[in-house]
């Protein structure tokens, strides 16, 4: 049976393709989600995508994922740099967690260089553009198969 992977996106990712294309490109969240589902099929993964601008909603979805999903691929967006709550929720999730950032956060402002989520992540994809989601899914598939 296909492994189930939750692709979670945090605040402002719903604005992709509408503003700051020089940083994040022209793809929209819908484009990214459609590509994740398609790539997932090629990797024998059943992918579900969710996005929220609310920290508590993301935390609830991570808690619920314990029952439903085998892995999480997450772009926590700005909450990467601030949220101990999301880190704690991810610590309670037992499967692989892959952190994705579209931009190279280490080339940007100092406040983006640290991610709380990285303390839990089993893999981190940074600065590969939206292709990073495919790389994250591929690594999740690899970890789930070994
Ligand atoms: O590079 C990434 O993927 C980020 O997680 C994107 C976040 C940013 O806060 C992180 O530091 C790095 C921002 C998400 C998109 O924000 C937008 C804001 C306005 C217009 C378009 C996108």
Name the active-site residue from 3, 24, 79, 116: 24
CA of 78 to the centre of ligand 1 (A): 7
Instruction: Please tell me if the CB atom of residue 105 comes closer than 6 angstroms to any atom of ligand 1.
Output: yes
77: Cα within 13 Å, side-chain hemisphere: 18
Residue 86 has pLDDT above 90, yes or no: yes
The per-residue pLDDT for 20 is 85
For the residues 130-143, what does the mean pLDDT come to?
98
The per-residue pLDDT for 23 is 87
Instruction: Please tell me if the CB atom of residue 32 comes closer than 6 angstroms to any atom of ligand 1.
Output: no
Q: How confident is the model at residue 132 (pLDDT cuts 50, 70, 90)?
A: very high
Residue 138 has pLDDT above 90, yes or no: yes
Q: How confident is the model at residue 90 (pLDDT cuts 50, 70, 90)?
A: very high
Cβ-defined contacts of 39-45 (< 8 Å, 24+): 39/133, 39/134, 39/137, 39/138, 40/5, 40/137, 43/137, 43/138, 43/141, 44/2, 44/3, 44/141, 45/2, 45/3, 45/4, 45/5, 45/137, 45/140, 45/141, 45/144
Catalytic site includes residue 101? yes
Instruction: Please tell me if the CB atom of residue 3 comes closer than 6 angstroms to any atom of ligand 1.
Output: no
Instruction: Please tell me if the CB atom of residue 103 comes closer than 6 angstroms to any atom of ligand 1.
Output: yes
CA of 59 to the centre of ligand 1 (A): 19
Catalytic site includes residue 133? no
The pTM (predicted TM-score) of the whole model is: 0.97
> What residue owns the CA closest to ligand 1's atom 9?
78
Residues facing residue 26 across a β-bridge = none
Name the active-site residue from 101, 116, 133, 139: 101
46-76: pLDDT as tens digits: 999 999 999 999 999 999 999 999 999 999 9
Residue 35 has pLDDT above 90, yes or no: yes
For the residues 75-83, what does the mean pLDDT come to?
98
Cα 55 from chain centroid?
14
Q: Give the chain's mean pLDDT.
A: 97
């Amino acid at each position: 049976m296909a492994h189930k992977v939750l692709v979670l996106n945090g605040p402002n990712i719903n604005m992709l393709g509408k503003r700051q294309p020089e940083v994040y490109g022209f793809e929209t969240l819908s484009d990214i989600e459609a590509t994740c589902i398609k790539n997932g099929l090629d990797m024998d993964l059943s992918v579900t995508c969710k996005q929220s601008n609310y920290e508590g909603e993301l935390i609830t979805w991570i808690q619920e994922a314990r029952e439903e999903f085998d892995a999480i691929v997450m772009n926590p967006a700005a909450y990467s740099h601030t949220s101990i709550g999301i880190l704690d929720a991810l610590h309670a999730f037992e499967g692989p967690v892959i952190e994705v950032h579209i931009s190279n956060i280490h080339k940007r402002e100092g406040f983006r260089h640290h991610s709380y989520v990285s303390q839990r992540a089993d893999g981190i994809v940074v600065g590969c553009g939206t292709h990073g989601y495919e790389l994250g899914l591929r690594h999740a598939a690899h970890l789930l198969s070994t």
